[in-house]
């Protein structure tokens, strides 16, 4: 008992020493490099007062708003695309299966950055799409490919007997999916879908390359004006973490809780 306790205390101490050491090394090197830390200039980019004296969101918070908005809308479309693609892949229609297959191979075998640039520079002019729409479309298509694999796995895990009883009751294919099959996939697919939404938020940083003022873009913009490079990238990374870590924690608790009856 006592031995274990002692060991734990030692481990915590060791961890603290290592962290402080790393932080110190970091700071020492930055000072050697001649970097002048100016944390006091940062708060105004998070929250500031306008001329009237009332509080308004700073540039980083506005950027975060855009990141969350794009991620949320893309998440909805990615789920719809993923569901339809999963069903197409499992359908008896050859054309449907091929379409789904081609889409999945294209999306999964090209870099997301290229997909975003392609959408913005090639598709957007052809179809008159705004940067925002380009961002949402490319992110939705990208995440939808992965979502479809998750949903397909969930559908395949539903026992064959469920299809057979739905069939012999005369239910249509759509009703069978809607009432019998899809609800049974939730337990299995919700945790990985939630993880996918964390990926989506992280991946959305790439839309800063097509002039979307998201969190990453806001960081770059502030740095180009103020040269607060180290502070701003620290804060940007922390803000991403502040959003994604709670979701990840939520997923872990969710994994234990979904069940019917009892």
Residues binding another protein (CB under 8 A)? 159, 161-162, 164-165, 167-172, 175, 179-180, 183-184, 260-262
**Among candidates 191, 200, 190, which has minimal Cα distance to 143?**
200
By beta-carbon proximity to another protein, the closer residue of 48 and 165 is 165
Nearest approach in angstroms of CB 93 to another protein is: 15
By beta-carbon proximity to another protein, the closer residue of 57 and 153 is 153
By beta-carbon proximity to another protein, the closer residue of 91 and 248 is 91
By beta-carbon proximity to another protein, the closer residue of 52 and 170 is 170
For the chain, give the longest Cα–Cα distance: 76
Helix, coil or strand: residue 11: helix
Q: What is the chain's length? A: 262
Angle between helices 229-257 and 59-90 (to 10 degrees): 40
Q: What are phi and psi of 11, to 5 degrees?
A: -60, -40
By beta-carbon proximity to another protein, the closer residue of 117 and 171 is 171
Q: How far apart are CA 80 and CA 65, in angstroms?
A: 23
What DSSP letter does each residue of 40-107 carry, written as one string? GGSGGGTEEE-TTS-EEE-HHHHHHHHHHHHHHHHHHHHHHHHHHHHHHHHSS-HHHHHHHHHHHHHH
Q: How far apart are CA 217 and CA 232, in angstroms?
A: 11
Nearest approach in angstroms of CB 262 to another protein is: 7
By beta-carbon proximity to another protein, the closer residue of 191 and 219 is 191
Nearest approach in angstroms of CB 164 to another protein is: 6
Nearest approach in angstroms of CB 182 to another protein is: 10
By beta-carbon proximity to another protein, the closer residue of 104 and 182 is 182
Nearest approach in angstroms of CB 233 to another protein is: 46
- Is residue 165 a contact partner of residue 152, using CB atoms and an 8 Å limit? no
Q: How far apart are CA 147 and CA 75, in angstroms?
A: 9
Nearest approach in angstroms of CB 165 to another protein is: 4
Nearest approach in angstroms of CB 163 to another protein is: 9
């Amino acid at each position: 008992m006592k031995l274990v306790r002692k060991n734990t205390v030692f481990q915590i101490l060791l961890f603290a020493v290592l962290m402080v050491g790393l932080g110190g090394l970091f700071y020492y090197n930055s000072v050697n490099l001649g970097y002048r830390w100016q944390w006091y200039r940062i708060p105004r980019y998070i929250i500031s007062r306008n001329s009237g004296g009332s509080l308004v969101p700073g540039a980083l918070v506005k950027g975060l708003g855009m990141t969350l908005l794009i991620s949320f809308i893309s998440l909805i479309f990615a789920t719809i695309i993923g569901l339809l693609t999963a069903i197409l892949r499992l359908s008896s229609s050859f054309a449907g299966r091929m379409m789904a297959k081609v889409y999945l191979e294209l999306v999964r075998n090209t870099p997301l950055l290229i997909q975003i640039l392609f959408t913005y520079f090639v598709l957007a002019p052809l179809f008159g799409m705004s940067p925002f729409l380009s961002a949402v479309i490319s992110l939705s298509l990208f995440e939808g490919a992965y979502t479809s694999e998750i949903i397909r796995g969930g559908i395949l895990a539903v026992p064959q007997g469920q299809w057979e009883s739905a069939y012999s009751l005369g239910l249509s294919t759509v009703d069978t999916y809607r009432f019998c099959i899809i609800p049974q996939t939730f337990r299995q697919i919700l945790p990985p879908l939630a993880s996918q939404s964390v990926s989506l938020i992280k991946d959305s940083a790439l839309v800063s390359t097509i002039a979307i003022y998201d969190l990453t873009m806001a960081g770059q913009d502030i740095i180009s004006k103020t040269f607060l490079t180290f502070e701003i990238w620290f804060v940007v990374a922390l803000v991403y973490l502040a959003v994604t870590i709670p979701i990840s924690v939520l997923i872990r608790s969710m994994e234990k809780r979904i069940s019917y009856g009892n």
